[in-house]
Structure 1
């Protein structure tokens, strides 16, 4: 699965308000929080997603929308490890995060999820689950299409009245806001609860660390930390990080 778009001006280069003045109408120090204390930088303030001090870039902005629904299918399984590729291939400005990113997340039950995103091409990849006997495509309007793999076509046709593919219409589901309010009122269960959110974020965080380090990283489920090894990107500090801190500011919150 993936989430791509094409912005000729460079993603996250939002408008800078020249009227923004630290100490006058904004608290720069409070905004920085645990991030490194640096002089006022309007680009970092208004375009924060470009910098690892405040964001994981593509992964934390867009992959969540795609990975979280798959966690419903895979019952909120925690990942085992992740590897990543990509880089700043088109936008050569002062951004730190990549404009193209590929994450491969491995799970202990025996499957991998591949996440792809580019801010330089909007074509993207389909939302698809690859199985040995068939492939499942999410095709919109609450529909899925299941098509048999060639070696198992006859078996599939025997089960589905001679059809080589089937389309299944799903049920309508309430939007996130209605579901959240209904859950607060005790009328429904929360579809994206803390467990599902945590499982989703850990997988994404693994990919961010893997890309920045240029190697696979593992999830230590017992300790609840990302095991990035001794040669991490934080200046030689032993690489054990809580998944919520994706950039350079984790040390102040540890």
Structure 2
């Protein structure tokens, strides 16, 4: 199967999941001249937003004209970095000023997770194409609204799951789909992050100079400024994100779902806690095992901080365990380990197939290609796909937070348990309301 066709077909696996429907995409939007520059602004530029923008600017079609961040220190630093390359940009701490700028064609959203939905929906309503970081939503309800917004405004939305643009990932999943592994009853996905250490508790403090903390909080619960909740470490607090489950899970579980052509699980159960660093500042579990029951197979997710030696001696990956053998896949490459009947292999071994390309560069190129062609079906990671896997990951967190085995009612788009359903939608505060499309 050719890579582009694989990615195109796999991105539509949400059909009939009961999570959110996919409507036909309008392929007759006005074409943008290939001679024109695609004028880009980036919102949230401290981490992956900056990496995404840097990759985009390696393509001669892209032109950055504006930056937005709530931290003036970051904003000044990034503007200076662009200036050294001869790129002059306007800067602002208010994303609405970016959306009001008619000269901007597309935006990159690299903010903390709790801002993704609101900014993406507002950007689409303002007529912008969007590259949004993963996980797309901080709740299942947000994921559904983001799909609805894309369908309503018919704009290009690429999710930052750049592995979907890599050849070796597509090749591995094509092998899984070949049937050579035999009946696959168990899929494992994991992220063991040895470099992640404890986050020492520190007292709340004054807001750093140059930081618009109220804007950073946005719809999140009011909380005094604490450096542990700011910048990178926001990931470990429920107000803003979902821990390693949503941070790394959306990458690895995405390929588990694609390989199995899976939609929604029937049940989810999770067990874990703060076992590595029980007294540190984080809220999300540093150790977690989650089991999803699908029709005909189970999927198991594991994550652990402070440990690198995961299954198959890999610190992250996906393993498709079939009757005939096991395919192990991660960012470095993939291989097939044959099952055995005595000394005889059940299938031919596939030696390690190394990754040979730059996934992020290919992913941003795909985004620009589709902005020009307006063929939305060519996106490697459309919002439907990003929302699908983010929803599955949110289900895992909900199972952990309820402490129950929970069951999904695909027809109703909710759990059978009332306590679990309380986590379906993120709570918005400070005068903000969750978008309703």
TM-score calculated relative to the size of structure 1: 0.74
Pick aligned residue for 2:216 from 26, 31, 50: 31
State how far apart, in whole Å, the 2-side matches of 1:59 and 1:231 are: 20
State how far apart, in whole Å, the 2-side matches of 1:115 and 1:241 are: 20
- Specify the alignment match of 1:136 in structure 2: 327
Counterpart contact for 2:207–2:225, Cα < 8 Å: no
Counterpart contact for 2:270–2:396, Cα < 8 Å: yes
State how far apart, in whole Å, the 2-side matches of 1:27 and 1:69 are: 38
Counterpart contact for 1:35–1:252, Cα < 8 Å: no
**Pair 1:65 & 2:65 matched:** no
**Pair 1:183 & 2:370 matched:** yes
**Pair 1:156 & 2:346 matched:** yes
State the number of aligned residues.
232
- Specify the alignment match of 2:306 in structure 1: 120
Unaligned runs of 5+ in 2: 1-188, 313-317
Unaligned runs of 5+ in 1: 233-237
SS in structure 1 opposite 2:241?
Answer: coil
- Specify the alignment match of 2:274 in structure 1: 88
**Pair 1:241 & 2:421 matched:** no
State how far apart, in whole Å, the 2-side matches of 1:223 and 1:87 are: 30
Say if 1:154 and 1:123 are closer, same or farther in 2 by CA, change over 3 A. closer
State how far apart, in whole Å, the 2-side matches of 1:155 and 1:125 are: 21
SS in structure 2 opposite 1:2?
Answer: strand
Q: Deviation per CA, 1:176-235: give whole Å up to 9, x if none.
A: 22232233333782222222212211211111011111112233322333x272345xxx
Counterpart contact for 1:78–1:202, Cα < 8 Å: no
**Pair 1:55 & 2:241 matched:** yes
- Specify the alignment match of 2:395 in structure 1: 206
Structure 1 residue 35 displacement after superposition: 1.8
State how far apart, in whole Å, the 2-side matches of 1:122 and 1:168 are: 20
Structure 1 residue 138 displacement after superposition: 2.7
Counterpart contact for 2:399–2:405, Cα < 8 Å: yes
